[in-house]
Structure 1
Amino acid sequence: MAVTPLPLKAALVVFFQAGISPSGAPIIKKKTLGNVRFDAAEQDLYDVAHALFSLTDYPVLDVVLRKEYDLVDEG
């Protein structure tokens, strides 16, 4: 039974610090950027995320690439 992965969609999730709580803990939020090209280079996506957030006052904490596949049974 052979299974073939078919690309469905990709998204970039950017975690950023939106401020400091009254107790002094960082307030962490995330923004999901959908419709990312499945074949885009990871370094390019990382650079784009940092370039976009350089236009804001929020520092980027983490960048996550999420890819979804449909697993099709070729049997």
Structure 2
Amino acid sequence: MAVTKTISSSSLQIEIESGKDSSGNTTYKKKTFSNVRTDAASQNVYDVATAIKNVLNVKTRDFFVSESSTLVSA
């Protein structure tokens, strides 16, 4: 039985600095940008994330792409 995976939605997440914990370590939270095209090239998503990072007033750390997929039995 063959199974097909199809990406149904995608979002971009950027970790942004949110403060310090009780030990003085930097804490981060994720800012999510929904409705990223599921067929968008990785370089294009990275370029958009970098552009967003450049206009934010906080320090950032990592970029993530979250994808939701459906599995269908063929």
Unaligned regions of 5+ residues in structure 1, if any?
A: none
In the alignment, structure 2 segments of 5+ residues that lack a partner are: none
| 1:1-75 alignment runs, 5 A limit | 1-21=1-21, 23-74=23-74
Q: State the aligned residue count.
A: 74
Deviations 1:30-73, CA, capped at 9 Å, x for gaps = 11111000111111111211211211221220001111110001
TM-score by length of 1: 0.83
Q: Determine if contact 1:10/1:37 at 8 Å carries over to the other structure.
A: yes
Question: Identity percentage over the alignment?
Answer: 36
* Large movers: runs of 4+ above 4 Å: none
- 1:41 and 1:59 mapped to 2: Cα distance? 25
How high is the TM-score relative to the length of structure 2?
0.84
